[in-house]
Structure 1
Amino acid sequence: MNEGAFELFKLVSDGFCCSQIMMKLALDMEESDNEDLIRVIGGLCDGIGGSQKECGVLTGGIGIIGLYAGKGKAKEWTKEDYGSMVKEYMEWFEEHFGSTECVDLIGVYHFSDENNRSYPVKCGDTILESFGKIQEILQEHGYELGSRE
């Protein structure tokens, strides 16, 4: 088992959903914690609030882009390339996986127990590939995942 797969297994075992895992991976690269951010992004779990609509890997990845290029305080604006990075990621995601919706990606799958999440193997592969793509997009635009200074 490679290091990325092991880390995913650990995060899933700890009860994190796809959107939270994406953000935790980014925060781990910074060697930082932000429990409030992880709680907030939990609302994107299971295809936005459990609706099985937009995939948590997609929305979690967009959240990572926002962490680096989004607006965070008054009199601050999103970075000029924020929109183009989001668009690039969304287009890549849909083209690469064939859909942006959780239900299409993993099939009809209802999570019966929020404390005992069980994700199909496909989610792990989707997370690893998408996290790599986020790193690539950020790097192409002059950002280094793991360093927001």
Structure 2
Amino acid sequence: MDSVQQRIVELKMQGFCCAQMILVLVGLEPQGKENADLVQSIRGLCYGMYAQHTCGVLSGGVCALALYDFDQETLRKVCAELVDWFDAHFGGVNCVDLLGPGGQPAWICNDALLQTTEKCLEILQEHDFI
């Protein structure tokens, strides 16, 4: 198991949801930061804002990218890149697209979390943040 997968398991065991995990994995830990209040607030994005709307992995990933010192135009571009990649890769951006109506988090969520974390880290590497 690689280090990202292992860290996902550890965070899940601590009760973190998808949006919280990607925020920690992409936004905070690579910068050596902690922010319990921010992590707690991101919980509202979990499971598509608890209404199967925009996937928590995706919304958490965009929030994680915004924690870096991108200028406004570059931030807009990298967020759009992530959203477009996610939509093409998973066939939609809403939880309902990934899981179906009333669907519960499943293997697809773990797959989306791992792949989106890797995509965000790739974006950050391309811009010399990590």
Q: Shorter-chain TM-score: what band?
A: 0.7 to 0.9
Superposition pairs for residues 38-57 of structure 1, below 5 Å? 38-48=39-49, 50-57=50-57
**TM-score scaled by length of structure 1:** 0.78
> Which of 1 and 2 has greater Rg?
1
- Unpaired runs of 5+ residues, structure 1, are 71-77, 111-118
Query: Does 1:59 pair with 2:59?
Result: yes
Judge conservation of contact 1:5–1:124 (CA < 8 Å) in 2: no
Amino acid at match of 2:79: V
Compare the two structures and name the one with the higher helix fraction. Answer: 2
Per-residue CA deviation, residues 9-39 of structure 1 (Å, 9 max, x unaligned), is 1211211110000011121222321001101
Judge conservation of contact 1:55–1:100 (CA < 8 Å) in 2: yes
**Runs of at least 4 residues of structure 1 off by over 4 A?**
none
Per-residue CA deviation, residues 42-90 of structure 1 (Å, 9 max, x unaligned), is 1101102x011000010011001111146xxxxxxx4331111111111
Query: Does 1:15 pair with 2:15?
Result: yes
Among all aligned residue pairs of Structure 1 and Structure 2, give the percentage whose two residues are the same amino acid. 37
Pairwise CA distance, 1:132:
1.1
- Over aligned residue pairs, what C-alpha RMSD do you find? 1.7
Superposition pairs for residues 76-95 of structure 1, below 5 Å? 78-95=71-88
Query: Does 1:32 pair with 2:33?
Result: yes
**TM-score scaled by length of structure 2:** 0.88
Aligned-partner Cα distance in 2 for 1:95–1:13: 30
- Unpaired runs of 5+ residues, structure 2, are none
Aligned-partner Cα distance in 1 for 2:121–2:38: 20
Aligned length: 128
